[in-house]
Amino acid sequence: MTLTCCKLASKYIRSVVPRHFLPAFPRPSSCSVTAGLVIPSAHPSKFTQSSFAVRANRMRFIDIGANLLDDMYDGRYNDKQYHPPDLTSVLNRAWAAGLQRLIITAGSLTEARKALALAKTDDRLFCTVGCHPTRCGEFKSHAGGAEAYLQELLAVLREGQASGKVVAVGECGLDYDRLHFCDAETQKKYFEAQFELARESGLPMFLHLRAAADDFLEIVQRHAADFPRGGVVHSFDGTTDEAKRILELPHLAIGLNGCSLKTEDNLAVVAALPLERIMIETDCPWCDIRPTHAGRKHLSAESLVGLSGAKDRKKHDPSCQVKSRNEPANIRLVLEVIAGVKGVTDLDAMAEQIYGNTAAMFFPEGTMPA
């Protein structure tokens, strides 16, 4: 097996760290970005005195939103096969990075069935059941009609809830940024319909909001009694005012990922959020923290070295991340940016706070590992 991505990481280290800072290291045996090379930083992170990757292994994480059904984890990109399926390697990196549990997001009836089947393969995998706003047209196009579609979702939910694998209703909500997929009236109608799933199951909700705050909040407030365990507005990228209005509902939390950290305005919103109402996610394989994102400046040199080891999909190596394909192991980077924005120096305590927020909503029966 080649060590090309290790060489790239080594080259990056040499480019950003003066030679006199670099001790002699044994040649690495793996090019996994979770290998966690420990280096003194030329610009020491205010968060740690040692590798953030090493510290991350002591932290506990729950990824509230992972699109593990995406074709990219089967090696397909834009319908073209580039490499063999590598989800097992992706999950192994996740566990090594401190992930305790992963919630697989489902956005349709078909995905709900597949997500439940995948969740049953590992004790640490769980899933949602629901219909994404951009796919609510499936209610109307379903062979048995909209009510049959809803009842089939409910059947999958009940099966998964009985096995302890379905932990939320969703992904559901409103998305007015992508009305070309589904018009607003259809989205609103079938967003409301899915509160029946929450009412019947008693589960919290995994919510989607894009450019539709007024309609979204009106519907959620009207149905507040249908989901007493609350919910999370995931992948939030709205304004400070929208965040304030969401948090005025005491049973809602806000989920943050790389798409929540793109701009300086985004970072200002994050800075104002109370830590006890935050959850974190990757929304992988999307929503990575890119070089152009405002949040990128809060990543430590150690984390940037890790990212530099990712390989192009055409040169796939299962021990390396794939360039531009996000994965659950990167959840620690979301934590690091939030800490930087908030001026938090104790990352361990912050990670544990967010872990507790998430466990309380989705895993309240005391089943979390100690």
pLDDT at 43: 30
Which among 33, 28, 102 has a CA at the least distance from the CA of 67? 102
Higher pLDDT, 331 or 19: 331
What is the pLDDT confidence band of residue 345, given thresholds at 50, 70 and 90? very high
What is the arithmetic mean of pLDDT over 223-235?
97
The whole model's pTM is what? 0.86
**Cβ neighbours, 10 Å, residue 305:** 24
pLDDT at 306: 87
The answer, yes or no, to whether residue 353 has pLDDT greater than 70, is yes
The answer, yes or no, to whether residue 49 has pLDDT greater than 50, is no
What is the arithmetic mean of pLDDT over 131-138?
98
pLDDT at 55: 55
